[in-house]
Amino acid sequence: MKKLLLASAVSMTMIGSVHADGHGGTYAFDDEGAHQFVTFKISHLGFSWLYGRFNEFDGQFVYDEENPENSSVSVTIDTSSVDSNHAERDKHLRSEDFLYVDDFPEASFQSTRVELGDDGEADIVGDLTLRGVTKEVTLDAKMLGHGEDPWGGYRMGFEAQTELALKDFGIPMDLGKASETVEVIISVEGIRQ
């Protein structure tokens, strides 16, 4: 869940894989068209996988075409929008055992640096604040594509993933060794402003 914030950061990966002219600028997440996803996957007691997502989040990324490593991303997530396709479980995920949304209704990610790889991918490093705890996290990101859309705009899309340890963010629920970490996968499409 914490990863979701990072997800937005993923959009920054574009840096290493795109060299076309004129694609730099500030991109707002396409929340109106719902072309953005922050999803998570965690083991349930080692017996099965539990999947979920955050339905409400927003953000933007700035792509520096001349110096991609100077690009940045910021994301804000409404933690009460957690959705695991099960109302009672979602109620539990919003409780003090997990996200504690009454006291911490928002999670955020702000990138601090982008490290380019040789393979067209990038690490987006930044501060993730979840449940009142701020930790540095790294998103493994890659650009999916960019270009003009059919409506006269210009878009850029990225995918990123990371893994978070629940205890690092003060989540007290202990479901055993198999459930100590959560995998976060983020897919974001931005529209140039």
Structure tokens at 11: 């959009």
Q: Return the half-sphere exposure (C-beta side, CA atoms, 13 A cut-off) of residue 173.
A: 16
6 versus 86: which is more confidently predicted? Answer: 86
Return the pLDDT at 21. Answer: 53
Domains of the chain with bracketed CATH: 22-192 (2.40.128.110)
- Per residue in 6-64, pLDDT (tens digit) is 334 443 444 434 334 588 899 999 988 888 999 999 999 999 999 999 999 999 999 98
Return the pLDDT at 5. Answer: 39
pLDDT greater than 90 at residue 71: yes
Using alpha carbons, list the distances in angstroms from residue 7 to 45, 138, 141, 178, 185: 25, 10, 9, 23, 6
SS3 readout for 40-100: EEEEECCCEEEEEEECCEEEEEEECCCCHHHCEEEEEEEHHHEECCCHHHHHHHCCCCCCC
- Per residue in 116-162, pLDDT (tens digit) is 887 768 999 999 999 999 999 999 999 899 999 999 999 999 999 99
Average pLDDT over residues 90-102: 98
Return the pLDDT at 19. Answer: 37
Which pTM was predicted? 0.85
CA-nearest of 142, 150, 127 to 68 is: 142
